[in-house]
Structure 1
Amino acid sequence: MFAGQGSGIMLATYDDPGNSTASQRLRPGTLRRILAYAKPHSRESVLLVLLTVLDSLIIVSTPLLLKEIIDVGILQKDTTVLTVISLVVAGLALLDAGLQLAQSWYSGRISQGVSYDLRVQAFTHVQRQPLAFFTRTQTGSLVSRLNTDVVGAQHALGTLLGSLSSVFTLVLVLGSMFYLSWLVSLVALVILPIFMIPGALVGRRLTRYSREQMQMNAEMGATIGERFNVAGAMLSKLFGRPSEEARLFAERAEKVRKVGITWMVLSRLTVIIMTLLAAVVTALVYGLGGAMVVDGTFQVGTLVALAALLARLYGPITQLSSIQGEAHTAMVSFDRIFELLDLKPLITERENATDLPAPDDGAAPEITFDGVSFRYPKASEVSLASLESNALPAGERAQESPEVLRDISFTAPSGKLTALVGPSGVGKTTATHLVSRLYDPSAGSVRIAGQDLRDVTLDSLRRTVGVVSQDAHLFHDTIRNNLEYARPGATEEELIEACRAAQIWDTISALPSGLDTVAGDRGYRLSGGEKQRLALARLLLKAPSIVVLDEATAHLDSESEAAVQRALKTALHGRTSVVIAHRLSTIREADQILVFDEGGIRERGTHEELLAAGGLYAELYHTQFARQAVNGSGPAPDGPAAEEERRPQEAAPQMMPGGMVFFDGSGPDDGGAPGGGAPGGGVWHTNGPGPGGR
């Protein structure tokens, strides 16, 4: 991948046709789109141009005034002219300093304004992407696209705006030089094209290296993000190989280093060549101009003025030539952002979408699946290869995935509990994702209160449907802010009431900081049961009329499950509930059980009806759900469930009102945490208040 290894600088080459990132070219229309983002800042742009023109006039007038100081003030010994012009030059210098400061301010407003618009639009656009986008995309690569690329575009745009001064200065300087001496000016003008050649030669290569450097930095950032979040850090400590991971990271960092060296050499090459040419031309001008002074063609002041103007000529030329590199970098940064913005969200809201109405009688709405089939979208439809690690080839990214659900129809009655059971990978979770419209069905329709979800507003759907998954996510923020995420502006009393209903308030109130305790990254300072109950409190605070549970008690111990089940009794009361069940305690008295198998609904009915039918549910019951009867009678089962049957009697499930089964367990909810000490079974940290980790 890298060539030229040996002594000296290693210049990387990226001619490998398989390197799609390096060979990717700028898409047509990129410049036009950039200008469209600058259009809202037209007022600042006009003021910037005016300031730039004034600054350029001052830059040109100073050498002309210097000519008068020498030819009139010094050579003719006119002290009045010498004093007046010197004061004028000093005043112009002060004015020029103020103008440059004003230019920087307006240039900053424009570049920062464009980057603000880009960043907000990109963030909002990413929020609208389907769940499949986030399952395929590396978080670090996405963060780099939204942060590093926007900052790069902002910096380059600021530099490009600064080049306006160079353009005006170049025109005015050339005019002044021709006014003083057409011959010397012609020599400078003839050499002018030579200065533009280096920038043109390296511009395309700079574009490729800029894109590759951004991509490599994004991949390195993704590695850092995956290894240094709390779950990744724990996995690395338990199963990782530190020396090997350090070596792999060093290899990626080495690639970034090599590409960075090449990019810096190429970007500086233009400046170096032009500086060399400027020195040569300056020597020629002094030689030619000096001879003309000796011959009496013009005076010394004119030669000094020409030399000063020449310095002001090649400065802008050097800047404009280096601007080519900045322009290419800016174009790449903008192009990468536009690439993300051009990825169309699969889940969109129709223009004539209506809100889901609240039932007149206050009853929860029913859910209807009508002939629903579903296959996950193609990779090319939901993500970008540049945002994925080890992305599939273009051909495979365009291939359709097999159907996950096939022509399923059912109704989840209003205010009732519908349980979804079946082997792993048969479409249960996918069906719940359709209820919350994380995806749209490939065929058929999902309706709530008789309305197709594709015809309702997303905001009203989010208000109606509440979801608690197996792995409840908490932000690295206070418990209060995590709860208020579901209902901003909730009062203290409402927060406490929700926590009491979720069986978690006693734990929170015993913490030194109470609701202001920081939950930690992904809630890792809390036990599994505490996180689940906080998630239920957040759900209760939201107060949706439909509840979707992806088995919120699947990974809890019996004590934690008992507390969560008590909270579930409150959460599900009076609401239409769809629950993916792996435990008998969740489904035994469900109003309706749907047995999924191979993408379809194989059986449906109540617990007793399905057991009597002797089909797949009965098989699942005997292999996964069976346990000693609630009243303690009946033989213990044989097989995989036998060990679970031998739990102590105090952990046996108890029937609760509303058809749910709960454990009447006692003792702290330790969520598997070692030791104790904190209410709820958490372990106190030695470096500050708050519940302990696992």
Structure 2
Amino acid sequence: MSITDVRTPYPVPGTPKETMHPDHAPAWTPPAEAEQEPRQVRRILRLFRPYRGRLAIVGLLVGASSLVSVASPFLLKAILDVALPEGRTGLLSLLALGMILSAVLTSVFGVLQTLISTTVGQRVMHDLRTAVYGRLQRMSLAFFTRTRTGEVQSRIANDIGGMQATVTSTATSLVSNLTSVVATIVAMLALDWRLTVVSLALLPVFVWISRRVGNERRKITTRRQKQMAAMAATVTESLSVSGILLGRTMGRSDSLTAAFAEESERLVDLEVRSNMAGRWRMAVITIVMAAMPAVIYWTAGLAVHSGGPGVSLGTVVAFVSLQQGLFRPAVSLLSTGVQIQTSLALFQRIFEYLDLPVDITEREDPVRLERVKGEVRFENVTFGYDGKGGPVLAGIDITVPPGGSLAVVGPTGAGKSTLGHLVPRLYDVTGGRVTLDGVDVRDLDFDTLARAVGVVSQETYLFHASVADNLRFAKPDATDEELHAAAKAAQIHDHIAALPDGYDTVVGERGHRFSGGEKQRLAIARTILRDPPVLVLDEATSALDTRTEAAVQAAIDALSADRTTLTIAHRLSTVRGADQIVVLDSGRVVERGTHEELLEREGRYAALVRRDARLEPNPRLEPTS
């Protein structure tokens, strides 16, 4: 599964990934070849650069801890070779106290380095989560129309969450174990170089084995994370309110459960394979390392019986102590190497999102308008989704004066909604330009554009929060009086006030505790609260029945007063009073004029009016003589 799989409610095995709606931009795919490992490691290290001061302290603590820990075997050697044989109780007490102090200092240093390294790791994870979320916030609407929501959530939750051990403890463990190994090897060489050579003879073989295991786990981890993303997408879609309604009414609950069980079964297999990859090979390393003391004793005995330089008892005991001390960090170092290689797959998936091209960007010196009059112009506008499938819009020239109203009508697929999306820059034009008060919207700063253009669409989105919180999303510092005034203008205040909890009522996921008309009026109240000078109404009443539509239309009329209004309409019940009506067909303007002028021409608009009159009789739409 690519990171931009097509939005299908439930994936069907064998469906080509390239299948997508022709209006959607093609999926962005990462390069065929993964980043070279050294380059990726350097990029990971750059994540820790802001915290290099704290990491330096960790390094000092690690170094101090390693030096203190390797001192104990030398103290033990002195006890066995000097203090005990010579009966020097004072020296014995001093050396014993030194060993206790060494253990205390090692523990204290360990606690401090864990605290600092964990804090740094959590900050790095915070930076990654924020960077990915911020990057996604800057993506155009096209990205989200082709990417499953669960896939996006999985990147932030599962992939970054899976890196927690790496960024919080693995880095410190790597430094700590590496320092311990180096210090221990130096100490072992100082005691006896011959025993050291014997102890380290198999180390290259162990490193080679751990690399093989790491590469194997990295491949499995990539597949596992993709499977987790697929499961997250299935859960998000099928267990949402809409998904439950669809599954229940279609009698697909059992089949959806079975499909989820299959997805989960595949994840079980990948989890087991990931945990068991290389276990036997790593077990062999553990057995060999555990057997090394016997090899040391045997080597020391041979040295004595061969007539060569002998090895004292204290040296042998101290060396075995060092060798055993080397065993833990060496095995841990090999395991850490495996874990780092495994985590590279997670980092690669996160970097894929961070490297996504952002096509809606703010220029370095954007124009900021303190006061927006509201003139909107489409100047020879052309738009296509990455230039594939032909232009969706072509040669659009329209001017809407400040406070004026424009209605855009036409058959399904004519490009009406796309035209409306160009004003708030949900998409950017591929030719020509869209201007606001004479300034290309691409030159405006994002804040100006957000303040200037309000959008009310057919699909109203409400957060799982209180009514008040949903309204204040438009204006966080709005007072209760302002909320009530906006709700009254949208003709929804009386309904909210009649609820047991009033404005504190939780609307439920996506607002499913409210009817379609109530949700639309809440969305209108939210937009009134923001008070934009330019308003885009994208088929805001097309999904409503006639009675509900009348109530919502009254709210829209209040919202549209003294604003530049662009109304996208499939049903024509709301466009009669527009200053200008434009008829789109196949992305081109085929007619324009007022309601009366277009009816007199007996062209496309008149045909649409007659169609609506047949489907839903409404005296307001009947052609006039």
TM-score (norm 2): 0.90
Counterpart pick for 2:374 among 347, 356, 365: 365
1:292, distance to aligned residue in structure 2 (A): 5.1
> SS at the partner of 2:310?
coil
**Paired residues, what number?**
590
Counterpart pick for 1:463 among 440, 443, 451: 451
CA distance in 1, matches of 2:406, 2:539: 12
- Give the aligned residue type for 1:193: P
> SS at the partner of 1:554?
coil
Cross-structure match for 1:78: 88
CA distance in 2, matches of 1:318, 1:548: 63
1:308, distance to aligned residue in structure 2 (A): 0.9
Query: Aligned pair 1:450/2:463, yes or no?
Result: no
> SS at the partner of 2:535?
strand
Counterpart pick for 1:106 among 105, 116, 119: 116
Q: Flag the 1:124–1:353 CA change in 2: closer, same or farther, 3 A.
A: same
1:485, distance to aligned residue in structure 2 (A): 0.7
- Give the aligned residue type for 2:440: D
Counterpart pick for 2:221 among 202, 210, 215: 210
Query: Aligned pair 1:287/2:275, yes or no?
Result: no
1:289, distance to aligned residue in structure 2 (A): 2.6
Query: Aligned pair 1:586/2:574, yes or no?
Result: yes
Q: Contact 2:163 / 2:343 at 8 angstroms: preserved in 1?
A: yes
Counterpart pick for 2:317 among 298, 304, 310: 304
Residues 599-630 of structure 1 deviation map (CA, whole Å, 9 limit, x = unaligned)? 11111111111010000111111111x3xxxx
CA distance in 2, matches of 1:86, 1:621: 100
CA distance in 2, matches of 1:620, 1:142: 40
CA distance in 1, matches of 2:117, 2:470: 39
Cross-structure match for 2:500: 512
Q: Contact 2:290 / 2:327 at 8 angstroms: preserved in 1?
A: no
CA distance in 1, matches of 2:203, 2:581: 82
Q: Flag the 1:305–1:240 CA change in 2: closer, same or farther, 3 A.
A: farther
Larger deviation, residues 74-83 vs 440-449 = 74-83
Query: Aligned pair 1:535/2:562, yes or no?
Result: no
1:22, distance to aligned residue in structure 2 (A): 13
Query: Aligned pair 1:375/2:384, yes or no?
Result: yes
1:346, distance to aligned residue in structure 2 (A): 0.8
Counterpart pick for 2:361 among 344, 348, 361: 348
CA RMSD of aligned residues (A): 2.1
CA distance in 2, matches of 1:36, 1:21: 21
> SS at the partner of 1:489?
coil
CA distance in 1, matches of 2:71, 2:97: 14
Residues 555-575 of structure 1 deviation map (CA, whole Å, 9 limit, x = unaligned)? 222332222122112100000
Cross-structure match for 1:388: none
Query: Aligned pair 1:150/2:160, yes or no?
Result: yes
- Give the aligned residue type for 1:92: S
1:444, distance to aligned residue in structure 2 (A): 0.7
> SS at the partner of 2:277?
helix
CA distance in 2, matches of 1:21, 1:321: 31
Query: Aligned pair 1:337/2:350, yes or no?
Result: yes
1:536, distance to aligned residue in structure 2 (A): 0.4
Residues 359-389 of structure 1 deviation map (CA, whole Å, 9 limit, x = unaligned)? 5xxxx421111111111137xxxxxxxxxxx
TM-score (norm 1): 0.82
CA distance in 2, matches of 1:81, 1:247: 73
> SS at the partner of 2:344?
helix
Query: Aligned pair 1:441/2:426, yes or no?
Result: no
Q: Flag the 1:285–1:23 CA change in 2: closer, same or farther, 3 A.
A: farther
Q: Contact 2:148 / 2:233 at 8 angstroms: preserved in 1?
A: yes
Structure 2: gaps spanning 5 or more residues:
1-17, 19-28
- Give the aligned residue type for 1:126: L
Q: Contact 1:21 / 1:211 at 8 angstroms: preserved in 2?
A: no
Larger deviation, residues 115-124 vs 255-264 = 255-264
CA distance in 2, matches of 1:600, 1:417: 19
1:504, distance to aligned residue in structure 2 (A): 0.8
Tell me the percent identity. Answer: 39
Cross-structure match for 1:568: 556
Q: Contact 1:22 / 1:208 at 8 angstroms: preserved in 2?
A: no
Residues 507-530 of structure 1 deviation map (CA, whole Å, 9 limit, x = unaligned)? 111222211111111111111111
Cross-structure match for 1:198: 209
CA distance in 2, matches of 1:186, 1:300: 19
- Give the aligned residue type for 2:71: S
1:117, distance to aligned residue in structure 2 (A): 1.2
Q: Contact 1:373 / 1:408 at 8 angstroms: preserved in 2?
A: yes
Query: Aligned pair 1:137/2:150, yes or no?
Result: no
Counterpart pick for 1:87 among 77, 92, 97: 97
Q: Contact 2:214 / 2:342 at 8 angstroms: preserved in 1?
A: no
CA distance in 2, matches of 1:484, 1:564: 20
Structure 1: gaps spanning 5 or more residues:
1-17, 379-399, 627-638, 646-651, 655-694
Q: Contact 2:460 / 2:519 at 8 angstroms: preserved in 1?
A: yes
